[in-house]
A and B are shown apart, each in its own frame.
Chain A
């Protein structure tokens, strides 16, 4: 690098350093000459800083209890994400022996009607067995299967079919 350029760069950095170390005084808010002379206005910002945070827990028992459980095609197996819902229903029944529930099983429209009654019943029985294991008593639970006779959604497509493969909890006292 040529000598004179080095001097310019060095000088630049010296000046920069000088700027950084210089203490720039805050403009006096009562100094009228700063505020009003050129017609610009300032607005002070709220000086409060961030408050203190805290951790929150996820508690599934605090959400609204689902009364319908859905199933995959040709399956009466409970989806893993529904295990909590069933557990909560079981607890509800275990805690109140006056409570009874009718589990209504359904199937989508495909195939033979009476065979679909069987599929709906299989789904209701899956739920029933889990409720019994988890504290409900047999006298509190009844099952009925409507097969494809009471669809929740009309249509001959997977969207409707998936809404119809279900078990509904109907509580009675």
Chain B
């Protein structure tokens, strides 16, 4: 009996270590926290595991804990401090948790139901109210277990903060590696916590401006293969891609329309007059949107599909303009500062993120669309490429503190800012995926 317990503990420790090791070896994005607010104490109790055969496929409590920690809003207590470790709601003793000062407890378990079939359940309790806030059961396979853990974290997060969780999302980014044979550029997709990295495209020539399709199945990007710029759309599952724009001169800055059927792009032509165009992905027909001799580029759609925002230096230096998606006279949108570029509206349409020159430093700023007030969010000197998470609450962007570019995230109120330190390479142009629908 005692031997069984010891063996089981030993196996659990080995599993935990392998998970952690795998995390360190695989993940290129390693999270460090640089700023924060007062975190809420919470307990994620290790999930029960009904052992039929082999080890638990994943330490789900660990994934949930890491997600909530990374949000910057929670401080999960250490397992060693727990007075009890229930795996089911009926076993929860609220007095034990009150003593520890945690406001919420998560308990759960994993049951094997078939060869590669599992059932994951969890319950979230309010310690003060002694009440269940949410309880859920989800099916899983070994391959989907990690996503199931992220989904659980999403539900817990939303219940406790009122903000939709983005733990089950992805990021794409470009990396430049200086190798012995010269520079290599790659386009990589990973989970938002840095796990499951996949290099989806690699080239000797620069790659720029990745953009997610609304259904998160495709990425558009600019490639300089052949010493000229072209726009590709690549389907992530298959790796197949189509070249959608390779006109003479510049082809750049692609972004999908909300219905996924069009791209807004920048075309320069032989005379190099950069202008905004929309491109029908199926028919490849393009329609010109701006005709000014200034540099007009970096177009992006408003979430309601009615406007296109873009950068233009028609008034002397780069500022942000918007124009009706069906064409018309652009109106200027930014008036603070001498340099505002790379507009991206939040998915809820309330905020406009941009690169803003702040007393000599290129920083990320957001402007409230209604009130028009500007808030500088970042603190570097070379900050660029802001991208909203699909819950409109957090942004990811690139910065260059030293020789290599790194990624950082910041909440839209500027209160929580973190560095996602890259282990190797020079990382740039991060884009956050939409909510995964499949």
Residues of A within 8 A of B (CB): 102, 104, 109-115, 117-119, 121-122, 124-125, 128, 138, 142-147, 149-150, 154, 156
Contact = CB atoms under 8 A, between A and B. Distances in A.
Given A112-B341, A115-B341, A117-B250, A125 B385 contact: no
Nearest to A125: B272
Given A102-B227, A111-B339, A144-B227, A124 B206 contact: no
Nearest to A138: B270
Given A109-B382, A110-B362, A111-B339, A144 B229 contact: yes
Interface in B352-396: 355, 357, 362, 381-382, 384-385
Given A112-B318, A113-B384, A156-B400, 13 more contacts: A112-B342, A114-B208, A114-B209, A114-B266, A114-B311, A115-B342, A118-B268, A121-B274, A125-B271, A138-B270, A144-B227, A145-B250, A156-B382
A112 B298 contact: yes
Interface residues of B, number: 38
17 contacts: A102-B227, A109-B400, A111-B339, A111-B341, A112-B384, A114-B266, A114-B297, A114-B342, A117-B266, A118-B266, A118-B297, A119-B295, A125-B272, A128-B272, A143-B272, A146-B206, A156-B381
Contacts, number: 96
A19 to B, nearest CB: 78
Nearest to A155: B403
Given A112-B318, A143-B249, A156-B400, A150 B274 contact: no
Contacts of B250: 117-118, 121, 145
B253 interface: yes
Contacts of B272: 121-122, 124-125, 128, 143, 145
Interface of B: 206, 208-209, 224, 227-229, 248-250, 252-253, 266, 268, 270-272, 274, 295, 297-298, 311, 313, 318, 339, 341-342, 355, 357, 362, 381-382, 384-385, 400, 403, 428-429
A112 B224 contact: no
Contacts of A147: 208
Contacts of B403: 154
Nearest to B342: A112
A115 B318 contact: yes
A65 B403 CA distance: 33
A142 B298 CA distance: 23
Given A124-B272, A150-B206, A154-B403, A115 B382 contact: no
Contact of A149 (B208, B384, B385): B208
